[in-house]
Amino acid sequence: MKVRPQYGAAVLLRNVARLGGVSVLLATLTACGVLGSQKPAPAPRPTVKQVDAPPAAPEPVTPPAAAQKPALTPAAAPTPPASTVSELQGLIQSREVAELRTAYNGTYGASLLFNAESMTYYAALFQQKNFWRIVKTSSEKQAEAAFRNFVTQSAELGEVDLQRIRLQAENTRTERMLATRSDLLSTLQADEGVREQQAREVQARQAQSREQANALAQQQKEARDELRAIQAQIDALQRRQQEIGTGRRGK
């Protein structure tokens, strides 16, 4: 495409920008007389070739964000059904009931409680502080009857516990007595062992003493025999000396 002089500067700038060359722009402006105050001598007009701009690098395609699955929330624990037991426990914890009567029979017992705000009575049968049966009523007469019934039931149920408690106490007492008797027996056996040991030692000492006595008696007998023999020799020699002395005087 050739540049014609009648094209205005604005048109040339748009064309040059599209062709994308700074050197081409300068040459074109110079050829059109845009730059410089003096018009240069006419020169052969260069042929401008249209150069296609290199295709722009494709922009990376960002994939759409994956739809995030909503976090699974743990299933809420099922709420236990309301019961008279839980109701009474809540009233006791909040101190909204007064204890009117309580009877114990072993680990079993019965209580009569009263909620003054609602004018409600609670007769309860429990075992080891755990409520077993509860009667809720607004009638004082019915509450008293239920309480007496629960007292009777607790007495029947607790009879085994009471017997167990008594037997356990007797067993504990028997075990203590057994331990005491065992200690006494051990002491007596130890004393008997000491006595037997002493008796054996005495017998051994007596046997040794008898042997020593027999030996000493034998030694004494031998010494006496020897003494008698020596004394006999002495007597004989003395008599002989006397006889010799007597014979000399007779001469």
- Looking at residue 175, what is its pLDDT? 92
pLDDT tens-digit readout, 45-87 = 444 333 334 444 445 444 444 444 444 445 554 545 568 899 9
- Looking at residue 1, what is its pLDDT? 45
Per-residue pLDDT at 88 exceeds 80: yes
The pTM of the full predicted model, rounded to 2 decimals, is: 0.42
Residue with the larger pLDDT of the pair 85 and 13: 85
- Looking at residue 211, what is its pLDDT? 86
Which range is least confidently modeled, 40-54, 77-91, 197-211?
40-54
The residues that bridge with 115 in the sheet, in sequence order, are 120
Sign of the CA dihedral with 79 first, then 81, 85, and 91 last: positive
Compute φ and ψ for 122, nearest 5 degrees.
-130, 115
Per-residue pLDDT at 91 exceeds 60: yes
**Percent of all residues in the chain with a pLDDT value above 90, rounded to a whole number:** 31
Sign of the CA dihedral with 78 first, then 83, 88, and 94 last: positive
